[in-house]
Structure 1
Amino acid sequence: MTSPLRIAGLTLLALLSGCASQAATPSPPPAAATADAPLRWKALLVAGDDAEPVFDNGVDALQRKLRSFGIPAADIAVLKADARRPDAVMTGTNFEAQMARLAGPATTGCFVYITSHGAHGYGLVSARDDAVIPPAWLAGLLAESCAGRPTVLVTSGCYSGLYTDTPALTTPDRIVLTAARADRPSFGCGAGDRYTYYDQCFLASLKRGAAWTAIAANVAGCVARRERAGRFPASEPQSAFGRDVAGLTAF
């Protein structure tokens, strides 16, 4: 696999405009089309930028939540832009290594959560690489490690609807949730924020045993309420539910 796409001739700063994602919202298939719930989950949680503390905060809180669901620490990998251990820094090389660790038997589900700034038309930022995470690269890694198994991918950042717009990512065995449409920013990554709006709403909506369709709807409603209260334009979180996992429940 190649490393994350470098932005030739441009810095990330030139591409970033606030916290930021567009795609038409697909209607989930009928809940009757359900996959067997995995007996075990493996997770990869990523804070791609450290320009503000919100991304680290979101990943830390999500890790605690997964542990409270009974997922062992050994099955939860965390990568951060500001990690102290070299193997825990969010780089293309470390991301590939941790994605490979998601491999497992058919009874194991894959959960990948990435929160970061977003570059319009490119993807979520990997600050240490001065790069982004391109949808095609991410799709290839998921296909290598998680193909044929229930998979949930969450991309939280501006313009992250680019990932639901990518057919290679929206496969029958996969749920993809994004913080915004591909042409819209998301919000809540200021210096005074604890979490981004999407991350906070996701944390509040994530319940063990809840249907992912319900979680996605609750997150979208929560984000919309917060944006209206702050008089921000609607980010319109997106979701895509593969036919084999339309009735999948969380953890």
Structure 2
Amino acid sequence: MSHTAPPPPGMARSTDYETIQQANGGTQIERDRPAIHSLAEHRRLARALATLAPQRKGVVDAYVLSIALDSDAVFGREAREAARVLARRYDAAGRTITLAGSDGSAPSPLPMGSPQNFEAALARIAEVMDPAEDVLVLYTTSHGAPFGIVYHDGNDGWGAMSPTRLSRLFDAHGIHRRLLIISACYSGVFVPVLSGPQTAIFSAASSDRSSFGCMAENDWTFFGDAMINRALRKPQPLGLAAAEAVALIGQWEQQASLKPSLPQQSIGVDVAAWLAPLEARTPKAATTPVGRPSLDSLAQIQR
């Protein structure tokens, strides 16, 4: 779904301070949505939340939440496949929610990726998980800004979520065991705020750098292709997968003469307590990457 209309005046004319406050509040503005859309969206979200399986006592369960916050099809495609890869890797069948717009082939049957739907999905996960035992695995893909990640659905939806907003939500739900993977420009801004003893967090770029590959026609962003489509498909430890992804991204950026995005990461000192049981159940065989390699977009960048 293309973006051709300007944002609502309340957002377009915001000062930097006001923009940050909007992102801290998880602001979402919908414009000209018909009532039938709202009803259909309510039903899609209710179905997705109702299918979430409860946790298993004595088992470290992963709950995967994959969200595309922008309606450009590259993000819808990436969020869908990220959900599949992460659910397989972390034994999360029945414990996975995908929030995303169209993948470019047809209207999306999924709940949309919006701040409100994200918060509802997070609240539902908190209801069924045991926060002392289980783990949230979050993947977000979207455009980003120095204040956080941006929600943009065609000409109808706008909003943003900041690191402060996510931190408040996690704290409110008592979710401290978490694997967070943030694919967006400037996403390094999330790392210092969300890092903690029980948190592993990976970002596509530093807080002052762009990431690449987000053209609407792509199947993957650079970060999504390297981290999800390649590194995390393999039966290797999380740290090695992240190192492989960072090296791949560096190679691609050097080949295209792009300013390095400098992906960031933090792995807390207590992460091993939940990561080891999850990785013990990782499938022993790798799966094959899907879609067009993000490297194919280099020719477009260089024109």
- TM superposition score normalised by structure 2: 0.64
TM-superposition CA deviations, 1:41-91 (whole Å, max 9, x none): 10100001023x211111111122234347354311111245745x81122
1:45-124 mapped onto 2 (5 Å cutoff): 45-51=66-72, 53-69=73-89, 71-82=91-102, 84=108, 88-103=111-126, 104-105=129-130, 106-119=132-145, 121-124=146-149
How many residue pairs end up in the alignment? 216
1:186-205 mapped onto 2 (5 Å cutoff): 186-203=211-228, 204-205=230-231
Selected match of 2:259 from 228, 233, 236 = 233
The structure with the larger Rg is: 2
Residue aligning to 1:134: 162
SS in 1 for 2:66: strand
Q: Distance in 2 between matches of 1:211 and 1:7?
A: 42
Q: Distance in 2 between matches of 1:191 and 1:137?
A: 27
5+ residue gaps in structure 1?
A: 1-5, 16-36
Report the CA distance between 1:95 and its aligned residue: 1.1
- TM superposition score normalised by structure 1: 0.77
> Which amino acid in 1 is paired with 2:97?
A
1:23-38 mapped onto 2 (5 Å cutoff): none
Selected match of 1:143 from 171, 176, 179 = 171
Larger RCO, structures 1/2 (Cα 8 Å, 6+ apart): 1
Quick check: 2:64–2:92 contact (8 Å CA) kept in 1? no
Report the CA distance between 1:101 and its aligned residue: 2.2
Report the CA distance between 1:117 and its aligned residue: 0.5
Selected match of 2:209 from 180, 184, 197 = 184
Matched, 1:125 2:150: yes
SS in 2 for 1:112: strand
Selected match of 2:60 from 36, 39, 42 = 39
5+ residue gaps in structure 2?
A: 1-9, 20-57, 283-303
**CA pair 70-43 structure 1, distance change in 2 beyond 3 A:** closer
Report the CA distance between 1:200 and its aligned residue: 0.2
Selected match of 2:13 from 5, 9, 12 = 9
**CA pair 44-172 structure 1, distance change in 2 beyond 3 A:** same
Q: Distance in 2 between matches of 1:226 and 1:171?
A: 31
**CA pair 139-54 structure 1, distance change in 2 beyond 3 A:** same
> Which amino acid in 2 is paired with 1:147?
I
Report the CA distance between 1:209 and its aligned residue: 5.5
Report the CA distance between 1:8 and its aligned residue: 6.3
CA root-mean-square deviation: 2.6
Structure holding more helix per residue: 2
Q: Distance in 1 between matches of 2:83 and 2:250?
A: 25
